[in-house]
Homo-oligomer: A and B are copies of this chain.
Amino acid sequence: MLYNKDMTNSRTPRRTQAERTRASKEKIIRAAMEFFAKQGYRGATLAEIAKAANLTEPGLLHHFPSKNHLLMAVLAERDRMDRERFDLSGMDDEEALFTSAQQLVEHNETVPGLVKLFTTLVAESVQEEHPSHEFFMRRYQKVREQVIDVLRDGQEKGKVRADISAEDLAVMIYAMMDGLQVQWLYEPEKIDMAGIFERFIQLLQVKL
């Protein structure tokens, strides 16, 4: 009897609860991404996010104590997904860099919701008081840093055009990505985001 009780009340249920919590959190984050993308951070409401995750609002707030905490979790998740898809740290050479960047843009064309999330939040967060202002500022600094060295190597090897500094090239690459996303989000059928980005990338390389 005592033995049985231990099995059911202590060991097994404890693991199930933990799993359920994790599953709930993931469901909430996915729902939050959707609504932050659709309406921005300010425009999205906890009630609709909770509902999409099959919860009530206080149910959601049990997992994330405030809307702000939820945003941070969403950004962390977005970062994790990005790293999976496009990790530039430890990138070998400029060829791998350009290929990866190109693949990222091609992938983005298949996930308009995530692109909208990023575009909306980045612009909203330009405001210094915005809860994710620091996050995005550091993010730009980080991703630019990651590519500068590779670009400079490429310039020294004569593969990347050297009439523009590696620092400025890094800014340009992300500026073009971001800018294309905006026009593409307005008219996905009309704007060939990946195609145009590819032509841009070719501009940065030295022709053989």
**Chain A contacts to B: CB under 8 angstroms:** 38-40, 42-43, 116, 119-120, 122-124, 126-127, 136-137, 140-141, 163-164, 168, 171-172, 174-180, 182-183, 185-187, 191-192, 195-196, 199-200, 203
Contacts and interface: CB of A to CB of B under 8 A. Distances in A.
B186 A126 contact: yes
A90 B187 CA distance: 26
Contacts of A187: 137, 140-141
Contact of A126 (B119, B141, B196): B119
Contacts of A172: 176, 196, 199-200
B40 A182 contact: no
A196 B174 CA distance: 12
Given A137-B187, A171-B191, A199-B168, A182 B42 contact: no
A179 B179 CA distance: 4
A interface secondary structure, majority: helix
A123 B119 contact: yes
Count of chain copies: 2
Given A126-B185, A172-B199, 20 more contacts: A40-B123, A40-B127, A42-B43, A43-B127, A120-B127, A126-B182, A126-B186, A137-B187, A140-B187, A164-B199, A164-B203, A168-B192, A171-B183, A175-B175, A175-B178, A175-B182, A176-B176, A178-B178, A178-B179, A179-B179
Contacts of A137: 186-187
In the A-B complex, the 8 residue pairs with the closest CB atoms: A175-B179, A123-B123, A179-B179, A178-B179, A126-B185, A175-B180, A137-B186, A164-B199
Contacts of A196: 168, 171-172, 175
A192 B122 CA distance: 19
A153 B120 CA distance: 36
